[in-house]
Every structure is written in C-alpha cells, then in structure tokens.
Amino acid sequence: MKIKSYLLIILIVISAVGLSVCSYIYTPAKYQEYSVGVDKEPVMAPMLKGASAGVFPWSPVEKQEDPQSLAKKDKVAETKPEAKIEVVEPKSFTKVDDSYFDDAVFIGDSRMVGLSQYCPEIDSRATFFAKKSLTIYNLQKDAWIDVENGPKETIFDALSKISFSKVYIMVGINEIGRGTNEGYRDAYADVIKRILEIQPDALIFINSTMHVTKEKSDGDELYNNGNINVRNAALFDLIDNQHIFYLNVNDMLDDGEGNLDESLSGDGVHLKGSCYEPWHQYLLFNGVVD
C-alpha cells in the first residue's frame, strides 16, 4: 500500500485529531469565549476561532481584574463627583460652517469610513482615523493605524502627533453581542480619558451608533435597533456637556419609528454614498463654540 496514494486522507485525519485534542484540552482555559458548545460545532472549532484572533495555546492568559477591586474602583469613581461643588453651565449646540472641521478628527468604523469617502466637505478639512470593523476595544488596545514605512500605531500615538481640538467618534455596531454594556461604556470612558490626556481642551462628540433599517432590525437577532439603543443609552453618563457631548445622529436619519430610513441605505446598515448629507448637516447644526 503506497502511503503517497492516501496522503491527503492521512494528513487531514491526523491534523484534525490533533487539533481536536488540543482544543479539548485548552478550551476551558483559553477558548471558552469562542465556544458555542460541542453539540453545535466540532471540538476543534473554538481553537481555530481563537487562533484567528491571536489566542494560541501558548499565549499568556490575560489576568481578569478581581470583581471586588473593580467594585471598589467604581465606588471611588462614584464618590468623586460628590466632592465637586462647582456648578458649571452646560455648553449649548450652535450652527457652524465647514471650517469648523478644520481642526477636527473623526474616528470610527465603516460608517465613518463612508463619511470620509462620500462627504468631501468634511473629508477635505478634517483628519479621519476610520476602519471597517473597528470597535471601541480596538480603539482602546490595538495598534491599527497604518504608518508609512513603519509598524502600525495606536490612535493615541497618532493623535499625539497632530493638533486637534474636536474629536468625533462613531463606533458601536461591531461590538453588539460582544462584552457587556458596562464593559462597552468603560472602554468608551477610557478612550475619552486618554484622548483628553493628550489634548485636555478638546471637545469630544460621541456620535450615537447609527440605527439599522426596519427590515434589517426585524430580521437580525444581533444587529437590531433594540440592542443599538441599549448600547447608546449606556454612554449617557459620560456626557458632561463641557468637554464631552452626545450627538444623536439617529434624530436626522431615522424614519420616524426609530429605524434607519430605508431610502438612505442599500444594505440596511450603512448610508448609501449619496445619503451622507443629512449627517453632514446635523454636524453643522450641532457645533459647540466657546
């Protein structure tokens, strides 16, 4: 019997068994979050998913912060504002023109990519750091910004190299189904805090995560407007109307029933190339001037 004649079967069987054993051993410690259960997928699947996300059997386990110490931290954070006695008048929104975006930075996922590609009025003036599939967690931790002739850098490294006084952020759709609302809010708070450390006088505009159309929302267990609204609401307590503002872009883009207007979207999730003007106009009507 020539092994060469059955080499592919042998290789596939051996590798599949090997990967299944490894996955079985390491899933409890490393791949639990990638597992949907052996009744739904082969044993090796969690490890394959984990490995694609950069988690290998030999990768160090990220230390989870002790829930008690987290609770303590929250308590400290909660008590801090009570110490403040100063009452500050909230800044209000006002109409601005396109020159307002000259010193603005736009950060976000594919929806923000769309704004950069189909709103030349803003794109020609502002700086965009936007990428398809970006999440608040990538923003917080990853080096994802391409640098010519060099390794990728974090958003904070990129921001420290430029001057800016306004930051517009829109993420949130890719995070749905991932992590908790509190985790999402905390990651957002951390990103804002670190941006303000770079530029303390910057105005941060949190753009609400844009809704999806009714058809998409009704037919999708994950990416629906109920889940989007919960995530948007989780950010409300970050707003101070001094440095951090909330722009509910859905006010301008919804159909009146809380869904993205069908006529504005080709896929139910993104604005069509010809439909970025309402968002642009909304931003023009919601500037903040000292």
Partner 1 sequence: MTFSDLNFIFRAMPLFLIIYYVFSAKLRPWLLVVASLAFYVVNDWKFVAILVGATIVNFGFAKLVSKKKKVALAGIVIFNAGLLSFFKVAGRLKLGIAFPLGLSFYIFKMISYQVDLYREQIKTVSFRDMSAYFIMFPQILSGPISRYSYIEDNSAWVVAPKEERPSKGQRLQTVLASVEDGLKYFVIGLFMKVMIADHLAVLWSDIKTIGYESISTPLAWLGAYAYSMNLYFDFWGYSLMAAGIGVMLGFPFIENFIQPYAANSVSDFYRRWHATLGSWFRDYIYIPLGGSKKGTGRTIFNLLVVWLITGLWHGMTLNFILWAMVILVIILVEKFILSKWDKAFKIIGHINVWVLIPCTWVIFAIHSVRKLGTYGLRLFPVINNGIAVNQNDILYLLPSYWPYLLMGIILVIPFVQTLYRKHKENILVTLVLFVMFWISIISLANSAGNPFMYLRF
**Residues engaged in binding partner 1 (CB under 8 A):** 1, 4-9, 11-12, 15-16, 40-42, 44-45, 48-49, 51-52, 109-111, 113, 117-118, 132-133, 173-174, 223, 266-267, 269-270, 272-276
Smallest gap from residue 17 Cβ to partner 1 (A): 10
Q: Find how far residue 85's CA is from the centre of its chain.
A: 34
- Min dist. Cβ of residue 265 to partner 1 (A): 8
Q: How far is the CB of 71 from partner 1 (least distance, A)?
A: 33
> Is 164 or 223 the residue whose CB approaches partner 1 more closely?
223
- Residue 246: strand, helix, or coil: strand
Give min distance, CB of 120 to partner 1, in A: 8
Instruction: Kindly write down the DSSP assignment for every residue of the chain, as one continuous string.
Output: --GGGGHHHHHHHHHHHHHHHHHHHHIIIIIGGG---TTTS-TTHHHHHHHHTT--TTSPPPPPPPHHHHHHHHHHHHHHHHH-----PPP-EE---GGGGGGEEEEESHHHHHHHHH-HHHHTTSEEEE-TT--HHHHHH---EEETTEEEE-HHHHHTTS--SEEEEE--TTTTTSS-HHHHHHHHHHHHHHHHHH-TT-EEEEEPPPP-BHHHHHH-SSSSHHHHHHHHHTTGGG--SSSEEEE-THHHHB-SSSSB-GGG-SSSSS--GGG-HHHHHHHHHTEE--
Q: How far is the CB of 11 from partner 1 (least distance, A)?
A: 5
Closer to partner 1 by Cβ: residue 166 or 270: 270
By beta-carbon proximity to partner 1, the closer residue of 79 and 274 is 274
User: Whose Cβ is closer to partner 1: residue 38's or residue 70's?
Assistant: 38
State which residue, 6 or 285, has the beta carbon closest to partner 1.
6
Nearest to 47 by CA among 62, 64, 61, 29: 29
Helix (H) or strand (E) holding 52: helix 45-52
Nearer to partner 1, 52 or 69 (CB): 52
Nearer to partner 1, 9 or 85 (CB): 9
Smallest gap from residue 247 Cβ to partner 1 (A):
19
Is 185 or 216 the residue whose CB approaches partner 1 more closely?
216
Taking the complex as a whole, how short is the minimal distance between the CB of residue 21 and partner 1, in angstroms?
A: 14
Least distance in Å: CB of 263 to partner 1? 10
Q: Which residues 6+ apart lie within 8 Å of 198 measured at CB? A: 156, 159, 160
* DSSP-based three-state secondary structure for 288: strand
